[in-house]
């Protein structure tokens, strides 16, 4: 099965907290690489097609020691991921839900990345967007209507971000 995923972090109480991480490298989707933790408190929900590959810890550690290019790429990925987590935390703490929605739409459209941005976002429900930014579906609907009236988004066979 191939799907891209929307990571969800969990707590000991079993409550899930969707994260806003998008555009994750297919190589580095797992949060369980190499660690000494026996329990991993996270899961992912598929949003679009992707491939999932499980790499045993010993094999990954051996490859990181043996392949310097892989080791460099992996470190760059980990540093980038940590920066993204910090950005997500600051966004959640200091921005309104409207700004968080605008940010996640831009991230989903890959604005600011090399190459041409994808103006059409894969089909995603308002409920999922609400979970990703920490608000209600009705608030997302309100903001999406506002964005549409302002010309920031367009519905034409999919969600387009301008």
Residue 126's pLDDT is: 93
Q: What is the CA radius of gyration of the chain?
A: 17
As a whole number of angstroms, the distance between CA 24 and CA 13 comes to 27
Residue 59's pLDDT is: 96
Question: Pairing between strand 16-18 and 4-10?
Answer: antiparallel
Question: Pairing between strand 4-10 and 159-161?
Answer: unpaired
Angle at 47 between CA 113 and CA 13, to 5 degrees: 105
pTM for this entry: 0.63
**Portions of the chain given CATH number 1.10.10.10:** 97-162
Residue 124's pLDDT is: 86
Residues 6+ apart with CB under 8 A from 44: 5, 6, 7, 8, 29
Residues 6+ apart with CB under 8 A from 137: 126, 127, 130
Token reading at 91: 């966004």
Q: State the greatest distance between any 2 C-alpha atoms of the chain, in Å, as a whole number.
A: 55
As a whole number of angstroms, the distance between CA 115 and CA 107 comes to 14
Strand order in the sheet with 159-161: 120-121, 159-161, 153-155
Residue 137's pLDDT is: 97
Instruction: Given CATH 1.10.10.10, say whether it is the number of domain 97-162.
Output: yes
Give the pLDDT means over successive 10-residue stretches in the chain (162 positions): 47 45 44 55 75 92 97 96 92 94 90 70 88 94 96 86 84
Task: Estimate the crossing angle of helix 126-133 against helix 137-149, to 10 degrees.
Answer: 100
Q: Look-up: residue for tokens 């966004």?
A: 91
Residue 35's pLDDT is: 53
């Amino acid at each position: 099965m191939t799907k891209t995923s929307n990571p969800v972090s969990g707590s000991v109480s079993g409550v899930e907290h969707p994260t806003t991480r998008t555009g994750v490298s297919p190589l580095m989707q797992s949060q369980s690489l190499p660690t000494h933790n026996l329990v991993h408190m996270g899961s992912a929900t598929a949003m679009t097609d992707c491939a999932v590959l499980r790499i045993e810890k010993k094999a990954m550690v051996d490859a990181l020691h043996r392949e310097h290019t892989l080791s460099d790429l992996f470190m760059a990925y980990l540093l980038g991921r940590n920066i993204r987590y910090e950005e997500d935390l600051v966004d959640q703490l200091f921005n309104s839900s409207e700004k968080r929605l605008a940010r996640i739409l831009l991230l989903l459209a890959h604005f600011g990345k090399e190459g041409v941005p994808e103006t059409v976002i894969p089909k995603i429900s308002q409920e999922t967007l609400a979970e990703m930014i920490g608000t209600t579906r009705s608030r997302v609907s309100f903001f999406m209507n506002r964005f549409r009236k302002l010309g920031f988004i367009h519905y034409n066979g999919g969600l387009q971000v301008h």
